[in-house]
Amino acid sequence: MKISAEKQKEMLWTMLLSRRFEDELVELCKVEGKIPGMTILSTGQEAVGSGACAALEPEDVIITNHRSHNHLLAKGAEPNALMAEIYCKRTGCNKGKSGTLHLAVPEVNAPCTSTVVGAGPPIAVGQAFAQQYKGEQRVTACFFGDGAAAEGSVHEAMNLAALWRLPLIFICENNVYAGAQRHEEHTPVPNLAVRAAAYAMPGETVDGNDVLAVYLAVQEARERALAGEGPSLVECKTYRCRGHGETDPQHYQPREEICSWLEKCPIPRLRDDLIARGVLTAADYQEMEGRAESIVMEAVRFAEESPYPDPEEALEDVLA
Amino acid sequence: MQKLGMGQAVNQALREEMHRDPNVFLAGEGVGVSIHLNPMFPTHGLLEEFGPGRIKDTPVSEAAIAGLAVGAAEAGLRPVVEIMFNPFFTLASDMIVNHAAKLRYLSGGKSAFPLVVRMKSGAGIGAGCQHSHNLEAWVAHCPGLKVVMPATSADAKGLLKSAIRDDNPVIFIEHMGLYFAPMPVPVDEYTTPIGQAEVKRPGTDVTVVTWSGMLGVAMAAAEKLAQEDVQVEIVDLRTLVPLDKETILASVAKTGRLVILHEATRTGGFGGEVAAVVMEEGFHHLKAPLRRVTGPDIPVPASPPLERFYIPGDEQLVAAIKEIL
Ligand SMILES: Cc1ncc(C[n+]2csc(CCOP(=O)(O)OP(=O)(O)O)c2C)c(N)n1
């Protein structure tokens, strides 16, 4: 395998950090009034954001959607500022204006999280166009769900990106559900990667719980994009282990299905693999867990102690 | 009388109309199987009662949902489609603005488009501006659409039944905050006519014109002012288009003062239209300049103190009223 040990450990780390971060949110959002709005988590899907972002360089751009925490943490977003924004505090990365749903972290080239399903891909077209226009050696990756693949905007974006050979990677995070609708209830094709053929771009379906497979697919798509060969579609098959949001009772998700996917959790999978291959020791992993714990606890402390914005701050930032 | 949240009232209206007319069907994201297992939500239990042939869960495809309604309506069905949140109306807007609203006109009156588009609106859920954005003025600006925005459960039920029976496209906007506020609803069959405002509280000193989620704020302000011997008359528009000018003008003729209250942002808001009507046709009744109390011209922020700042409150209304007394 041509992935360096460091890279593999980095992926394990961002998955672990993201899981610990979101596990904390599971608890925090049970406390009335602590986490405003919705709490939408990527538990069990971390291999997608962590694998993809590991294949990107810091100067590459990501555009993400409502299920963004893992994507952003893997891209290097600062946990304190993220947590404070999720708390809607003034010290949050968006001064409390966006909350969990629209986290924008331009500092790490993650300028837009749109919770309007299907809105990411057209914006990613614009980012990739700017990269091409300026002759830069960077690419844009866009995360969207299987549900989003049914929005017309996603098709328009794919067609335009392919037509103009934009340096864009469409990453479809197929977690089986879109709200309460199963994959087969919202699209007749079992693999969304086939859509790529309609736009004459490569489309690949990978095991979205295998972080290394995601990494390799995105890395290949990135090389293609940098070589001027245009966009690619990478469909990552994974599973939404929690509800759409934390208030969703998951009454439509079979218990056995959830359990079988929990067993395929990408984190122990990579951990065990790395230990078996001698890349990692059990002690290394414990150290990682401890580090994730203290980062998340520090983020919570920071968010808790931060003030809310003053009401009049609502009026700021509307226009430049 | 029964006590129902607005979602339950909408649910009853849908049920009754689906039993009455086999051409009525529902479509939208999660109208059948929903992530909410909650009887307070409007489409709860309908799939079980009417089956998947009439309760159509759709992909996340607002343009197709709205187009489905337009096409099926012309073909003789009575679609009631749901756009989950008002801001997502933007994705459906070509079908509604350029087609639902215009195709009858373009056919020279030969075709009819009896469809209803239901959507949830309103701030106060902490979800931020891509879920909370009141866009009623956009649709009100399009000739060829009727626009209904009930403030009570009883009105929601009666107006939705009228909307489903109406031969025109009706945009039906439900305020999320009202889903969880039980209010009295008559048990016997009734409809509420589209295009009629209602005086929800009689008064003599000042008229407040409002609609949807802001009725509660107006009522609270009126209570406070009553303690100070100021009698507020509250006109609940219920329907923005067609606008019931008579009720507004009659109230202004009686009180001589007007404050318009809405949750949507100020500039280009529907309050400006109400103000213009009163200036054109009721200016001579006014004893003082009219006032608007509205959301400020900002996207709805997520943070609780900011969101509270956004939502007009009874104290703002009381202050505006006192300015013109
Ligand atoms: C345009 C639009 N329509 C509907 C919604 C409501 N909604 C939020 S997430 C979601 C499901 C999206 O499914 P998918 O794209 O597969 O992402 P997942 O939630 O599974 O990660 C829906 C319907 C929305 N946010 N935006």
Q: Residue A314 is nearest to which of B58, B130, B306, comparing CB atoms?
A: B306
Does A199 have pLDDT greater than 80? Answer: yes
Instruction: Give the containing element (helix H, strand E) for A143.
Output: strand A140-145
Average pLDDT, stretch A138-159?
A: 98
CATH architecture of B2-185: 3-Layer(aba) Sandwich (3.40)
Check A310 against B302: CB less than 8 A apart.
Answer: no
Catalytic-labelled residue, pool B17, B29, B62, B174 = B62
Rounded Cα–Cα distance for residues A319 and A304 (Å)? 30
Which among A156, A147, A93, A92 is positioned nearest to A121, based on CA atoms? Answer: A156
Q: Which residues in chain B have their CB less than 8 angstroms from residue A308's CB? A: 303-305
* pLDDT of residue B5 exceeding 90: yes
Q: Do residues B32 and B46 make contact, with C-beta atoms less than 8 angstroms apart?
A: yes
Tens-digit pLDDT profile for residues A268-302: 999 999 999 999 999 999 999 999 999 999 999 99
Q: What is the rounded average pLDDT of the residues A23-36?
A: 97
The answer to whether B210 and B262 have CB atoms below 8 angstroms apart is yes
Pocket of ligand 1, beta carbon within 6 A: A 66-67, 115-118, 145-148, 175, 177-179, 240, 244; B 29, 60, 62, 84, 88, 91
Active site residue B228: no
What is the arithmetic mean of pLDDT over B175-200? 97
pLDDT value, residue A1: 59
pLDDT band at residue B189 using 50, 70 and 90 as cut-offs:
very high
Residue A205: is its pLDDT beyond 80? yes
Q: Hey, how many other C-beta atoms are within 10 angstroms of the C-beta on B228?
A: 9
Ligand 1 mean position, distance from CA A77 (Å):
23
Contact, A238 vs A45, CB < 8 A?
Answer: yes
Write the burial class of residue B29 (CB in 10 Å: 0-12 exposed, 13-18 middle, 19+ buried). Answer: buried
Residue corresponding to tokens 């954001």: A49
ω into residue B242 within 30 of 0, thus cis? yes
- The secondary element (H helix, E strand) that includes residue A5 is helix A5-28
Q: What is the mean pLDDT of residues B183-191?
A: 98
Asked if the domains at B2-185 and B198-324 fall in one CATH topology, the answer is yes
**B117 C-alpha vs ligand 1 centroid, how far in Å?**
19
Closest ligand 1 atom to Cα of B84: 4
Q: Over 90: is that where the pLDDT of A130 sits?
A: yes
pLDDT bin (cut points 50, 70, 90) of residue B195 is very high
ipTM beyond 0.90?
A: yes
Domain B198-324, second-level architecture: 3-Layer(aba) Sandwich (3.40)
Ligand 1 atom 3: residue of nearest CA: A117
Domains of chain A in sequence order = 5-170+202-303 (3.40.50.970)
> Per the CB < 8 Å rule, is B130 touching A102?
yes
What confidence category does residue A131 fall into, taking pLDDT thresholds of 50, 70 and 90? very high
In the 8-state DSSP scheme, what is residue A205?
Answer: E
Cα A179 to ligand 1 centroid, rounded to whole Å: 6
- What is the nearest CA distance from B58 to chain A, expressed in angstroms? 7
pTM: 0.97
A116 touches chain B (CB under 8 A): yes
**pLDDT for B127:** 95
Per CB-CB distance under 8 Å, the chain A contacts of B64 are 152
A208 near A8, Cβ under 8 Å?
no
Measured over the CA atoms of residue B189, residue B211, residue A88 and residue B319, the dihedral's sign is negative
Active site residue B285: no
In 3D space, the residue among A19, A57, A70 whose CA is nearest the CA of residue A271 turns out to be A19
Distance (Å, whole) CA A145 – CA A49: 12
Query: Helix (H, G, I), strand (E, B), or coil: what is residue A244?
Result: coil
Position A2 confidence tier, pLDDT thresholds 50, 70, 90: confident
Model confidence pLDDT, tens digit, residues B121-150 = 999 999 999 999 999 999 999 999 999 999
* CA-to-CA dists, residue B14 to A47, B156, B185, angstroms: 43, 11, 15
Select from B35, B36, B309 the residue whose CB has the most chain A CBs within 10 Å, as the one to mutate to test that interface. Answer: B35
* Residues from chain A contacting residue B36 (CB–CB below 8 Å): 247-248
* Domains of chain B, residue spans: 2-185, 198-324
At A225-255, the pLDDT tens digits run 999 999 999 999 999 999 999 999 999 999 9
- Angstrom distances, CA of residue A132 to CA of A120, A231, A233, B314: 18, 12, 18, 53
Residue B324: pLDDT over 70 = yes
The predicted-structure confidence for A134-148, as pLDDT tens digits, reads as follows 999 999 999 999 999
Q: Which helix (H) or strand (E) holds A271?
A: helix A266-276
- CB within 8 A of A236, min separation 6: which ones? A47, A48, A51, A52, A171, A172, A173, A174, A206, A207, A208, A214, A217
pLDDT, chain A, mean = 98
% chain B with pLDDT above 70: 100
Cα B100 to ligand 1 centroid, rounded to whole Å: 25
Taking each continuous run of H as one helix and of E as one strand, the counts in chain A are 11, 8
A186: pLDDT strictly greater than 70 = yes
Cβ atoms A155, A167 nearer than 8 A: no
CA B145 remoteness from chain centre: 13
Strand A61-64, strand A140-145: pairing: parallel
Mean pLDDT confidence for B233-255: 98
